Structure formats: structure tokens, C-alpha cells
Amino acid sequence: MNQPLSPANRILSLDALRGVALLGILMMNIIAFAYPRALYDNPFALGPLTAVNAWQWFLAEVLFAEKFYALFAALFGAGIAMMAERQPDPVKAKQVHYRRMFWLLLIGLLHAYGLWWGDILVTYAIGGMLIFKCRNWSVKKLLGYGLFLQSILILLLLLVYYSWAGMSDGEQLEIIESISPPLAQLQQEIAAYQGNWWQRAAMRVDTTLDFHVNALIAVEFRMCGLMLIGMALYKLGILTASRSLKFYWINGLLGAFIGTLICGAGAALIKQTGVVFPDFMSIYRFPNYCGALVLAWGYLCLVMWLVKVAGNNWQGAVVNYLAPVGQMALTNYLLQTVLCCFIFYGWGMGLFGELQRSLLTLIVIAIWVVQLGFSRWWLKRFNSGPMERVWRNLTQRRWQPVLQRRATQAV
């Protein structure tokens, strides 16, 4: 695409769902900002949780973990299909796409190694390069391969589970310490992140590199699968709110109910049994891994229902705040990093490892309020988010003002 989408050409349902996904992701990402890396997967790494914190973890695990990045990845795939579809010249569409992914990859690498190890942009950029040729597949093929790629990580986890008994003591200990590191190691990480930017640079680079070397390939299978599913849902008209209200309402309620039951069962199992190896890092993850897709489907359908019934009512007001957040997804994603780094790292307030999980929820809600208000305010005045404009300028190889004002200032 040579020009930014005008508001009239944007698909409201995609923007609103992207806004929901972007905001929801923060509820899990804040754990990776606020605590040592091990606590993202193992909430008990620093010791038992209080009753309040245990409930916070349980609800976040059931309602947020893996659900919103599933939505975001599906939307990323849908966006690839949509932009290629709107470019009549297939050769140019390919060139523009790979330039977009190259610059997204570079932005992601700067984000990951310069600020935060939990960056997802690198994963999306690589996935976008890998699946671009799949955009013309049939819906059946997209769904089939998408679901197949979801199963690969399950197979890898089963491999770990069944090979555990055959591992040497040293191999088992290495895996255990990666999930439940010694307290001294955790305290060292906390001290590093409470220092200045340079003091935590070595820890940040080491953690990021470890993720890219040891985990990225496994994560990429899941992400690429979700992107293919997103392409299929776009082609089916589901992501563009083209189905009936009844379809979205029934599927939304069923997906939310069944998905919550499955994820709740898995979280309850972990809460009751704690960290048991190798079960904790393998089969205990299956309920949430599978249930996340069902619950994400429920969320998707409920947002589509919300968009279809939106008007001069509360639903319309909600959509009018969510859509700008999604339209400025890259800006808002990076803004979350800046805000959280300021709150938790030593060059800001230095609260890394200091706050209870229950308080983190209040911080997330506060950031949601800021981003909902800021995004709406910004897009009333400017054509696009600042980082979206930078990304577009780099892709198009020509510079337009980042703060390009709208032709009209009407609200």
C-alpha cells in the first residue's frame, strides 16, 4: 500500500479487536517487566504466594495467559492477507511486505536488546516472512496447517515429559534450575534490573539472546500457526464482522464458557500441586495451551458482536475507545515498554521485584486508561500513530511528517 488507510477505509472490527489484544497482552507482559524471567513461567520461583496474590495469578492465568497474544498473532496474519489483497500488483505487494517485515525485525531487535527481553516483534517479523506465500491458500488449507503447527509444541512438551526419566542428573538439574533458579541467582537479577541502563545491559542481552537461541523456534511454530488461522478467519469474513449477530453471540458465549472451564482446570491443577517435575513444564501446560485457543475464539466473537451492535450506546462508546488503541498498536506496544521500564527499572522508579502481583493489576489498569485516552486524543489530531508513520516511511522509502495532522479537526 502506498498510502495510509484513511478512517473510511479502515476495518473497524480489526482495529477494535487489535485494541483488545494489545491491552490484554499487558496483563501477562507486566510479569516479565516486574520480576525475574523465571517468574513468568513459574509464579512460585520466589516462594509461596499469599492468598491475594495466588488469586491474582489464577485469574490472570485463566483469563489472560496466551489468549491475547493468540488474538494478536491471528490479527497479524489477517493484516498480511488484507494488505496483499489491496495491492493489485503481486510483485510490488511482495516487495512492500518484505520491506515491512525487515523494518519490523530491526525495530524488534532494538526493542529487545535495548529495552526488554520479552519483545514479540522479532517473532512476528520472522513469522510474517515465513507465511507470506501462504496468503493465497484455501481456507481449509490455512486452518489445517495452522492447527497442525499448534500441535508441534505439544509434541515437544510430550517429548520432554517422556524423556525425563532417561535424562542424566545433570540434565535434569539444568532444566529444574531454568524453571526454579536458586534464590541467589534471582536476587542477582533483581539487583541488575534495579541498576542503571548500563548495569542491566549484560543481563538483558544475555536473557534476550537465550530466548532467541533456545525458545524462538518453538514459539515461532505456534505464532505462524496462529497467523495462518488469522488469514483463514479474515477470508471467512469472521474478523470483519460479516457474520450474523446470532453467530457471534452464541460462539462468543460458548467459547468464553468452555475456554474458561478448560483453562481454569489447568490453573487449579497447578495451584493445587505446585511445581512438580517434569509435569509442571509439560503436561500441566496442556489445558491452558489448548483452552487458550477456545477462549480467544470466545473473546474474538464477543468483540465482533460488540462492533456490530455499536451505535449511539455504551457499546459504541467502548468501540470508539478500543479502535484507536488498535490503530496505533505498534506505538502503544512500545509505549507499554517505556512506561513499564520507567516504573520497574533502575533508571526510573526502580521497583523491579518489589511489588506484589495484586498491585501489578492496578498498574495495568492505570496504563489501560492512559492508552485508551491517549490514542483517542492523538488520532483526533493526527493521521496515524508516530511509530506507525515511521514504519510506513521506512517501508515506502520516502519520508512524510511523523506528526501529519488530519485535514479536519472535527471530533
- Blockwise average pLDDT, block size 10, the chain, 411 residues: 50 96 97 94 91 95 96 96 87 93 97 94 97 95 96 90 91 90 92 84 88 90 97 97 96 98 95 88 90 97 96 92 97 98 93 94 98 96 94 90 69 36
- Write down the pLDDT at residue 5: 47
Does a structural domain hold residue 401? Answer: no
- Write down the pLDDT at residue 135: 93
Backbone angles phi, psi at 382, to 5 degrees: -125, 155
Does a structural domain hold residue 410? Answer: no
pTM above 0.85, yes or no: yes
- Write down the pLDDT at residue 153: 87
Q: Considering its fold, how many domains does the chain have in total?
A: 1
Phi/psi-derived region of residue 257, left when phi > 0, alpha when psi is between -120 and 50, beta in every other case: alpha
Strand partners, 405: 382
Does a structural domain hold residue 367? Answer: yes
Does a structural domain hold residue 371? Answer: yes
Which domain range does residue 154 map to?
12-396
In whole angstroms, give the CA distance from residue 210 to residue 358.
Answer: 29
Residues 18 and 326: beta-carbon distance below 8 Å: yes
Does a structural domain hold residue 302? Answer: yes
In whole angstroms, give the CA distance from residue 9 to residue 322.
Answer: 17
Q: Which residue has the cell 535495548?
A: 114
Does a structural domain hold residue 348? Answer: yes
Does a structural domain hold residue 88? Answer: yes
Q: Identify the H or E element spanning 206.
A: helix 197-214
Nearest residue to 176 (alpha-carbon basis) of 193, 163, 164: 164
Residue 6 DSSP class:
P
Collapsing DSSP states into helix, strand and coil, what is residue 382?
A: strand
- Write down the pLDDT at residue 214: 86
- Write down the pLDDT at residue 409: 45
- Write down the pLDDT at residue 72: 96
- Write down the pLDDT at residue 201: 84
In whole angstroms, give the CA distance from residue 199 to residue 175.
Answer: 27
Q: What is the DSSP string of 139-203?
A: HHHHHHHHHHHHHHHHHHHHHHHHHGGGS-HHHHHHHHHHHS--HHHHHHHHHHHTS-HHHHHHH
Say which amino acid occupies 298: G
Does a structural domain hold residue 402? Answer: no
